[in-house]
Structure 1
């Protein structure tokens, strides 16, 4: 019994050691990663986890110290299922686990409610994907993002639709999520501000819908040149198939939610060439193109698949956290949060710095189309 008591006592003592310290004497720093790892958006969510893990492993391989101390970087991924309730539960789990920072979430609808939990705990959060302006307009000093917000995305897509695609009649569909509806609203504002085109139909679906014949039949009667869709690729793919079946020749224009490598599989031969225009928040051009291509190849070799959309942004988010910690000389969120607010980091996705709200300064966008089943860059918009 005495020996058992000693063992239990030792186990208890080990359990009480703060998680900030690894057994080898290095400071252990946990970075949370939250995204949908289940459901229709799992491929995009896993892309975020994979990108974050690449950064964590690179930091460990380099032996990146903080404040002169050796650090062991740890990633703690959580699944939010693209559901606000699961998102807040995952956020609380990460807070309870003592993470120093969080990369996430993907969907605007999960990012906003989760941000309140991180703000209350004083834990910095960088979203690699959420674009709703509301996220950074709540006044939380802990909320940042490394993508452009819907205001810029909507205006840019509206300008491209009217100026380059010469659209006169535009139909709008959104999936009623915070992301999809928010992006569609900003697109409509952009169209009205630009002038020269008419919104001939505004329709709604859901992020889990598979049958769009009713709304597409109504849209077909309006003969639009462009159909704007606010939502994700899991819905856009089947929608494109049904557009083709109904003989709708309008181009589809959308944001980064559909701008994935999986869209060709989801849409099949309905994708066509130059039929879909989408945008990804970030501007990769000139010398950066080689660095981005090298990252994509490292990703492919490691995971035996092509990156979807958000992996580079998740990677940059982790590296931005690490840079702020190193500049502050501390892994304590209270200490490195001010450094994060004024950080300057040259990432895979471009130059990263934040404005007073936590939005990306001088945000750029990259417009893409698809040709022969491959995503092709059209231009960088700044």
Structure 2
């Protein structure tokens, strides 16, 4: 965005989403209960952005008759696309990078996300995904031995020891989330999006998992070395903390509430098309967890109702970019819908690689994607000025 803003002589405005960062409507009480959280919705956030644009037009010299473009990645990308759909008079177009706007009820298979994660590991090492798939049963077998919990706690250098079967489930969830995060941040150069990581981190992880025909204890020692690439690349961690998988403040609290109300994304695994333990999608189980945590029940149909689901061809000027290494691609728009609702695919791209600053190690596919994105933006700006001239 920094490079493109300079090229287009644009002003960059970063708007903080309500309930994230410092934008807490009720201060420290904002997350107290569901009554205080009532105003945390995507549509309220979009209305904020519309108000902000009105405010900028009024208060900043020279902005009044200028075009605006919405940009975002991940949830921000979904908001960028939806903003153009809901407020087409406010922005001339949107770049929605890695935006899984179809990862909702009955629009894509619930297993697509984890099967893409698995493909990333398959590509990076011949037995890598097989070793990971085998590790779940290895953990279960070790836990059933008398000293298994202690051995696992020590071998994986856990900050707090495993005490019961609930802890073991937490451990497995934490390991799964680590493999997912590595797939999202599988960039061609060192980065610190979720954690400080080496270039192509999955390749580095898979070096430790090349041999899948080892006994349970050796396999889990190898798993520890692989996890260490994610949690201790900078050599700062003295132990593994099961309560955190990302160092950056991504606003997980706000997102957890949104996922429990309107952002209901079904995920499942079967252990055949993916390297994870089988876990079917259960709305009831999900709903009960949400009720336990937030005293709310999810509305799985609301997002498709609000934003049109797959029926969006009447909108214009939205670029959907997706990296083929990014698990979120499964819920994204990956082929053109019309001449102005276009999909750009980045074969070597992980999560919104195109939005990151340019880097010496950028693959050609992302350079091409960025130049195409700029081409579309220039067209939108040109069209805006042409229509302004016709008015006068």
Measured against the shorter chain, the TM-score band is: 0.3 to 0.5
- Compute the TM-score of the two structures, normalised by the length of structure 2: 0.32
- Ranked by relative contact order (alpha carbons within 8 Å, sequence separation 6 or more), the top structure is 2
* Higher fraction of strand: 1
- Compute the TM-score of the two structures, normalised by the length of structure 1: 0.32
